[in-house]
Amino acid sequence: MTVFDGPWAKELLGLLKKRLPEKTFKHVISVTEMMVRLVEPAALDHEQAVTAGLLHDLCKTMKPDELLKRAKEYGIRPNEAQKAKPNLLHGPVAAEEGRRKLKIRDEAVYEAVYYHTVGKPGWCRLGLALYVADF
C-alpha cells in the first residue's frame, strides 16, 4: 500500500494543492508520510492515518477573520486563547470542513484533526500520532 492510497487521498491532495502555499503543502505531505510510518508501531488504520495527515492543515493559511467567521458558522465557540490567536482555530475549522464539505464521517479522524495543535486528555492513538507527526 502506498502513502496516498485510499478514497480520500487524491481528492484531498487536489484540494490542498489549490488551497495551500507550497511550503504548507510540503509540510502536509511530510506529516502524512510520518503518519503512515506510524501505522504499524502505533496500530493505526492506514486510511485514517492518511486522511488525518492530509486534512490537519486544510485551513492553516486562512486569515484570522475568516477562521473566526467559519468557527461561528460551524458552532465552534472560541476560547480566550483562540480569540487572541485565531490561527489556533485552524484544526477545529478543518475538522468541521472535513465533516461538512468533504463528508468525512470518521470520528477518530475528526477528533485528531480538531485537537492536533493542543491535544486532549484521553485522546485516541490517531490523535496522539498526528500530534507527534505534526511536530
The model's pLDDT over 25-55, given as tens digits with 9 standing for 90+, comes to 999 999 999 999 999 999 999 999 999 999 9
Which of 8-12, 90-94, 111-115 is least confident?
A: 8-12
pTM (2 d.p.): 0.93
Residue 56: predicted pLDDT: 96
Write down the mean pLDDT value for the chain: 93
CA–CA gap between residue 83 and residue 86 (Å, rounded) = 5
H-assigned helices in the chain: 9-19, 22-38, 46-55, 64-73, 80-84, 90-100, 107-114, 125-134
Residue 6: predicted pLDDT: 60
